[in-house]
Structure formats: structure tokens, C-alpha cells
Chain A
Amino acid sequence: MRRLFHTQATEMALLAVTALICFFLATSTDRFFTLGNAFDLLNISSVNIIFAVGLLVVLIAGGIDISFAVAASVVQYVTALILAQIGGGSWVSGILIAGSIGILLGAFNAFLIHKFRIISIVVTIATFNIYFGLLMFFTRGVSIYDLPDWWTERVILFEREMADGTWAEIRLPVLVMALCVAATWFLIRHTTIGRQLYAFGDNPDGARRFGVNIGAMQFIAFGWLGLMAGIAGLIQAHYAQEVVPNALYGRELDVLAAVVLGGARLGGGRGSVFGCVLGVLLISIVQNGLNLMGVSPYAFQMIIGAIILLAITLSNSSIEKLIPFLRTDGRKQS
């Protein structure tokens, strides 16, 4: 138990804070602690969690990616165009197309990073502008509302009527999110590749000397994020029932904040799927709670920003005091 607290201090602290906030919201509002609200939270957070677990893999491998959200927009748009060309398609073809384009865009980042030894933040800021600029240029900002029926139709996996007549439902995005979370967890915790990703992120030189294939690591990490971004793009369009070219613009920084709040370290080698999911959920819960408490929606972002800033300050300063020489240098390959 002590070991658990020691190795997963951030996750445990996050869990405690989340539990505290949930307890507070459950007692102070009557809507929060209902099945319907819990399911709503899951439905709303699904896309961000899919993004987050993808980004987590890149962060563990010591990289950073700014371009994934606009890559997902590109995937949405191109997938919609291809599906219109082939006359509709289905979930299988949709996931295949979106996944492949996502992997391709991620692999392009990995190629630039690995082949030309450019660090990931420079590459992904460049590709962010390339992807988004080209998308807006070719689409002229025009949205697509005419999507195939299977794509926009709500799929309800579980539903139950509540006492007050509302329906609590779990929809398709939650299932996809669960699959993505499970797959990522399996990849980084239970495969050799996962161990190598951690080793590579923690100490690239050391990993290379142990025979880890550096190029493969980059392609796996960014390819995985690309795959997740592709799936998230598909699911986001499903959820919103439309494809808007700049709908996901700006999402990358919010997801990044959530993932790092969940214990992943910019600089590599640390982070867990559990913490990452908790990070996204915590932000959603705070947002949801503020909403239920009747706080003006304009104040949400301000409060969330302040909470993240406070969380970083507290978590870093306490660790610093406990083990002063542990965190010598956070910047290896950010």
C-alpha cells in the first residue's frame, strides 16, 4: 500500500481531490449524484479521454504533440469526403479510413522528428499550422452536415428511466473510449513495446544503448496518437452530428493540461492511463459541478485555469520538499 502511494503519488492525490469535489457536489447540489449526470459526464468526456490516452503515449516517450486536434479535424473532413465518394460505408469502413489517415498524419510527424532530428514541439507546431492552414484553405471553412446515417445516428448501449422521467443513457462514444483506454493501457503496461517507450522517454541514450529501436519508438508513439486522434475525430463528428473544420481547434492545449494534471511528465518516462483519465474527468467534473451550482458559464475556464495552476504549484512544491534532489532536470526532450 505504501509502495502504491509512493509510485503513484500524483494519481492518489488526484483521486482524493476528485473524491472530495464529488462529495462536495453531491451534498451541495441535488443533480450531481445521479446516474443520469454521471453518464452525461462520461458521454461528454469520451472524445477528450481518447485524445488524452493517445497524447499520454507520446508524453511517456518523451515527446510532445500540438497537432493532434487539428489532425483529427483533417481526419473528420477527409473521412466524410471519402465516405461520400464510396457511397456511405459503415462503422467498419469509417474506423478503417479515419484510423489510417490518423496514423498517416502521426507517422508524418514521427518521420520529420526521427529522420531530420527535429524536436517534437517544433515539428508539431509546424504541422499544426500546415494541417490547419491547408484544411481551412481547401474547405474554405465550409462545414459538412450531410453525413451518412450510421455516422450520426445515436447508438444507445445502456439506458434506464430515472424516477423523474429522464433517461440515463450510455452512448457509443463511451464504449469506444473504454476500448481505446483499455488498448492503451495494454500497450504501455503489458507489452515489451510499452516498457521500451517508458525507457526511451526516461533516457533516450540509455535506451538506445540497450538496443531499443529509437525510430520505431517515435513511429509507434506518434502513430498511436494519430490512431487515437483519428478515432476521436470520427467519434466527435458522431457526437456533434456534423463536421466543422475548426471545431477541434484549440482543444490540444486543454487536453495537454488535463494529461499533465494526471501525472504525465513533460520530458518523458512517467505517466499512467489511470491518472490521465482522472485528469480529464476531474476537469469535466469541475465544469459540470459549476454548471449545476448555477455559476455563470463564462467563469468556468477561469476557475479551471486557477485550479490547474494551483494543482501544479502544490504538487510540485510538496514533492520538491520531500525529495529535494529527485527532480533535478525536467527538460530532456520536451
Chain B
Amino acid sequence: MTTLVARTRRMLGPEMAGPVLAFLAVMLIFGTSSPQFLSRATFGSVAFQLPELGLLTLAMLLPILTGGLNLAVTFTANIAGLVVAWVLQANGGVDAGPAAFALGALLALAAGAASGIVMGLVIAYTRAHPILVSLSMMIFLRGLGEFLTRGGDVSGFPTFIRQLGHGSILGIPAPLLVFILCVGLWHLLLSRTKLGFNTYMIGSNIEAAHYSGVNTRKVLVLVYTLSGIMCAVAGIIMMARFNSVRIGHGESYLLITVLACFLGGVNPFGGFGRVIPVFVALVVLQLLSSGLNLLGANQHLATAVWGMLLVAVMILRWIAGQFGYLVGKRE
């Protein structure tokens, strides 16, 4: 029994406290103030909205763990979506078959990976600040997308694409399935593989990681490449959800992904943070948004409340730290 408790506690980790508290608070507040909140409809809409933001957040998570940042996530996703859209259009538009989609998706993943590789190489080999490198990549990709689409929409996809965005398998929305699969992959990657271990090493102390024989450059390039690939997955899901591709779709998610990571207890300097708390933080954010929506507020108020929640969690953490400090002193 005690081992079970200890194991659960270890599995949940200290980062879990903030997101779980926030989750309980949200459930309590909205559950009592709005009778429709604890309903299938609420959770249904959350399940459909979660993946877009969630996949982008996963893409943001890996670079943050290395002490960096990938500000190009949303536009990498847009470019990847554009690649799929073009491949589909080149193969008959509405009449395109699954093979064309498979090819498009592969090319989209390659496009995402390419963006990540370029950023990773520049960051790893020149030691330029990741904020800056990914920022210029973001400006470049945004410009590239605007140049290629002239700021317009690309749409007209076969019907099975709609299924990917809006369909369900065994009652679980298809995008959510993709998202949960990706969460699982990221969790395994970070907790079970050498690359994951090295990611944490680099985030804690890149010099120490280097001197202990970690090929830091290789790891950094891989991390940004994987981030780019995850952006591409997000781009494909976003394309299916909106049934169109436009440069700027999901642009407002950019800073929210960083917010979700921090809310999920990821250390802004890198080295600490896990996937599951981030997942819970994402669920909290979406529940908040749905709850406010039920109370008649709009998305903008939800955005403001997301910001306040982040500040509140940080303040609570500070208070907990002060308390721990006092307790520690007494002993």
C-alpha cells in the first residue's frame, strides 16, 4: 500500500500540485455556478478544442525543457497545413484520395522537420539565443506563408478530411485520439529514452551535459526537429478542424502554449517539467474557457482569465515556497 502511494506520488510529481488544484477549483466554481457545466456537451466541446492548442503546446514543451523556446510553432503548423492543402489540390481537390493525403501529410511532416532542423542547427552551432532564432524563423515563415497564399484561404478538401477534424471513433473525437497518442509518445520520449534524459540534462546545465559526454548539438537539433514535426501534426489537425488553411490560423495560441507549459509546472529555465501536468493544465485552460462561455463571457475574457490563472499559480507557488522555507528553518 505505502509503495503504491509512493509510486503514485512519484508518478504525479511535485509539478502536479498546481494544475490539479486549478482543475479542482475550476470544477468546483463552474460546477456550482452553472448547472450545464458538468455535462456531456461541455466535455465534448473541450475534447474537440483541446487538440489544436494541445499539440502546439507539446511542440513548445521540448524546446522549453532545454531552456529554449520555439516561437515559430504556430507558423510552422500553418506552413505544414499549407503543404497538405496543396498536395490535395494538386491531386484533384475535393476528389483527392487517401493516398494523396498520406503523401501530403508526409511532406508536411518533412516541412515541419525542416523548419526545426534549421532552427536547431543555428541554435546548436552558433549558440544564438533560441528566442531570437525562433522569432526570426517565425517572421520568415509568416512572410513565406503570406507570400505564397497572398494572405488568402486555401480550402476545398475531400470529405474524409472532415472526419479527421470532426469525426469520432468509439465516441472519442478523432483529433483527441491523435492528441492523446502524441501525449503518450512525448511522455515515453521524455521518461524512457536517452534523448529525453539528455534533454533534461541540457536544460539543467548545458556545460555539464557537454562535459559528461552528451552530444549537446545533436540533442538540440533533434529536439527542435521533433518540435517542428509536432507542429506539422498540429497543422494537419488544424486544417481538418477549420476545413481550410490560412496563415495566421491559431496565431493567438502562440503565447498560450508557453502559458500552458508554465502552468503545467515546467521550469522556464529548462531542465524540469513533465508531460502529464502540462496535459492537465491544458484541460484546465479549456474547461475554463468553456465554463466562461456557458456563463455568457467570450473568448477574450477567457484569455484574460488564463493569464490571471498563471499569475495566481505562480503566486501560490511562491507562498508555498515561503511556507516551506519557514518550516525548514524551524526544524
Contact = CB atoms under 8 A, between A and B. Distances in A.
Contact of B140 (A125, A296, A305, A330): A305
A129 B129 contact: no
A133 interface: yes
Interface stretch (A47-55, A221-229, A306-314): A306-314
B318 A313 contact: no
A86 interface: no
A302 B314 CA distance: 37
B147 A302 contact: yes
A121 B206 CA distance: 21
User: How extensive is the interface on chain A, given as a class?
Assistant: 35 or more
A66 interface: yes
Interface string A303-334: 11110110011001100100000011111001
B137 interface: yes
Interface string B52-77: 00000000000000010001000000
A266 B304 contact: no
- A interface SS class: helix
Given A136-B300, A137-B298, A331-B67, A125 B258 contact: yes
Nearest to B262: A122
B300 A296 contact: no
A159 B140 CA distance: 37
Contact of B139 (A122, A128, A130, A305): A305
Interface in B83-120: 118
Interface stretch (A9-17, A181-189, A253-261): A253-261
A227 B308 CA distance: 23
Nearest to A333: B269
Given A133-B300, A134-B304, A316-B126, A305 B150 contact: no
A126 interface: yes
Contacts, number: 166
Given A306-B140, A316-B128, A334-B129, A133 B135 contact: no
Given A116-B318, A122-B268, A129-B259, A254 B139 contact: yes
A119 B149 CA distance: 38
B127 interface: yes
Contacts of B258: 121, 125
Contacts of B142: 301-302, 305
A118 interface: yes
A288 to B, nearest CB: 16
B259 A125 contact: yes
B269 A133 contact: no
Interface string B295-321: 001101111111110110011001000
B128 A312 contact: yes
A298 B147 contact: yes
Interface in A87-134: 112, 116-119, 121-123, 125-134
Contacts of B122: 309, 312-313
A267 interface: yes
A330 B144 contact: no
A322 B221 CA distance: 24
Interface of A: 64, 66, 112, 116-119, 121-123, 125-134, 136-137, 250, 253-254, 256-257, 260, 265-267, 296, 298-306, 308-309, 312-313, 316-317, 320, 327-331, 334
Given A131-B304, A305-B141, 13 more contacts: A116-B318, A118-B318, A119-B269, A125-B258, A129-B306, A132-B304, A134-B300, A250-B251, A298-B151, A304-B139, A309-B137, A312-B133, A312-B136
